[in-house]
């Protein structure tokens, strides 16, 4: 990696390495937070949901049906999670696979020319949002509008706790409401995530249309940029390691999965989560008061050398490959992980089929998204040589 291209990220990881070696939980962000960097501590905080409250905060003024999944207090969170898990269970995602494969193929037909191409707007950005469109049952002809609205929602997402997710983007919210109303009028509904949420049984009751809209919108919000970050990070790693791509081409089926996991580990698309102490508690020997905010550094945990050998090396031969914490851990663990992994695997398999070599374009530096809690690329110019 070229240090001048990405100083912020590299220095954050140097700092994490130093912090992991310090005893206790260092104070961070101008004294307002405690920083959790070691693997075991990160895993502990994420699992102790009765001691550490949700990463996006909680607004008690919002009605129950407008509370988004990460903020719903237990035990209701657990009940809604079962509905969401059922709606996007791996077995339900089978029809998405050929759709994403065809989509990737048609994009590669356009961009695999051997000329420099920015793969972020052409490949990385469209795939997660189009996969989402298909998975949820958004009409194909609305794909562009859906993409624009979901991007705009991501841009404003820091306001979600104040406005509620519906208030974040009223046009999008009204659009989803209309789709749900239309579905409710249908007698023979298509088999997709929207229908499954509408027909879900929550202790003998259906979810209200507003609750369906709320959870659909948080799934879209949470799954878009995260998956893009994964795809961009993956492509950047491949471009810098020609041997890795050659290995992928030799055995795409096995190697693709290993590369996806290793990319998730070494470049966690979500680098940090935040939690607030709900009561006095401890992490290791450190005592924390109620309302203390902790920064839970997933990116750091994934490079803890007590858990992963040679943690700064991209290696696809790890036996504990899936132990990274990039999808979180415990009851809030990412429900979209199967979908994200599937998209990334398909992109790799299709590249292995259509491309003989991936190189960084010589005159155009990659541009990274601002590093704070995420790791991703805004622009990545590559030369994809046709196979
Ligand atoms: C590479 C892609 C992805 C990454 C790295 C990622 C990462 C994460 C992480 C770290 C969490 C835990 C948050 C916490 O504990 O506070 C999470 C939760 C969540 N993710 Fe993902 N995610 C990805 C893709 C997706 C996709 C595709 C979807 C939707 C289809 C999705 C929907 C959600 C939702 C709704 C939650 C909240 C779960 C809860 O609070 O119970 N994510 N994700």
Tens of pLDDT, residue by residue over 57-68, are 788 889 999 999
* pLDDT given for residue 160 in this prediction: 86
Secondary structure of the chain: what % helix, strand, coil (to 5)? Answer: 55, 15, 30
Taking residues 179-197, report their average pLDDT: 95
Ligand 1 centre and the CA of 82: distance in Å?
A: 15
* pLDDT given for residue 6 in this prediction: 82
Which residue's CA is minimally distant from atom 12 of ligand 1?
Answer: 328
Instruction: Return the percentage of the chain with pLDDT > 90, whole number.
Output: 86
CATH of residue 191: 1.10.630.10
Ligand 1 centre and the CA of 225: distance in Å?
A: 10
Among 327, 342, 346, name the best residue to mutate to test ligand 1's pocket (greatest count of ligand atoms within 8 A of Cβ): 327
Q: In terms of residue numbers, what domain contains 58?
A: 3-386
Which ligand 1 atom is at minimum distance from the Cα of 344? 1
Taking residues 152-171, report their average pLDDT: 88
Give the confidence band of 162 by pLDDT, cuts at 50, 70, 90.
confident
Q: Is 317 exposed, middle or buried (0-12, 13-18, 19+ CB in 10 A)?
A: exposed
Give the confidence band of 372 by pLDDT, cuts at 50, 70, 90.
confident
Q: What is the total count of domains within the chain?
A: 1
Structure tokens at 278: 């709900």
Smallest CA-to-CA distance from 39 within 337, 336, 284 is with 284
Q: What is the mean pLDDT of the chain?
A: 94
The pTM assigned to this predicted structure is: 0.96
Give the confidence band of 30 by pLDDT, cuts at 50, 70, 90.
confident
Give the confidence band of 29 by pLDDT, cuts at 50, 70, 90.
confident
Task: Give every CB contact of residue 62 below 8 A, 6+ residues apart in sequence.
Answer: 164
DSSP count for the chain of H helices, then E strands: 15, 12
Taking residues 80-106, report their average pLDDT: 95
Ligand 1 contacts (CB < 6 A) are 46, 55, 69-70, 81, 88, 218-219, 222-223, 226-227, 230, 269-270, 273, 326-328, 332, 334-336, 339-340
């Amino acid at each position: 990696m070229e240090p001048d291209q990405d100083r912020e990220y590299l220095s954050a990881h140097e700092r994490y390495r130093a912090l992991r070696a310090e005893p206790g939980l260092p104070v961070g962000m101008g004294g307002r937070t405690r920083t959790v960097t070691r693997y075991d501590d990160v895993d502990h905080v994420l699992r102790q949901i009765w001691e550490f409250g949700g990463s996006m905060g909680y607004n008690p003024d919002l009605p129950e049906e407008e509370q988004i999944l990460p903020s719903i207090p237990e035990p209701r969170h657990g009940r809604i999670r079962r509905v969401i898990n059922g709606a996007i269970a791996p077995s339900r995602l089978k029809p998405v696979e050929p759709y994403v494969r065809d989509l990737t193929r048609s994009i590669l037909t356009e961009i695999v020319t051997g000329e420099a191409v920015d793969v972020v707007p052409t490949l990385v950005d469209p795939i997660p949002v189009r996969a989402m469109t298909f998975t949820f049952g958004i009409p194909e002809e609305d794909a562009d509008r859906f993409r624009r609205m979901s991007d705009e929602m991501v841009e404003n997402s820091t306001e979600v706790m104040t406005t509620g997710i519906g208030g974040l983007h009223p046009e999008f919210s009204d659009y989803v409401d209309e789709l749900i109303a239309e579905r409710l009028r249908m007698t023979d509904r298509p088999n997709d995530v929207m229908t499954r949420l509408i027909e879900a049984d929550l202790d003998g009751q259906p979810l209200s249309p507003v609750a369906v809209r709320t959870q659909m919108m948080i799934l879209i919000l949470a799954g878009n940029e995260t998956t893009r970050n994964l795809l961009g990070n993956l492509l950047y790693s491949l471009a810098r390691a020609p041997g890795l791509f050659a290995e992928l081409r030799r055995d795409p089926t096995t190697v693709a999965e290993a590369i996806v996991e290793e990319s998730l580990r070494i470049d966690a698309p979500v680098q940090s989560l935040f939690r607030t102490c709900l009561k006095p508690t401890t992490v290791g020997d450190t005592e924390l008061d109620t309302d203390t905010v902790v920064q839970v550094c997933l990116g750091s945990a994934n490079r803890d050398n007590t858990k992963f050998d040679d943690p700064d090396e991209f290696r696809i031969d790890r036996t504990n490959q899936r132990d990274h914490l990039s999808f979180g851990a415990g009851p809030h663990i990412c429900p979209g992980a199967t979908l994200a992994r599937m998209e990334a695997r398909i992109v790799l398999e299709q590249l292995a089929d259509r491309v003989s070599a991936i190189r960084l374009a010589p005159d155009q530096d990659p541009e990274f998204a601002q590093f704070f809690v995420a790791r991703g690329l805004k622009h990545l110019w590559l030369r994809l040589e046709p196979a």
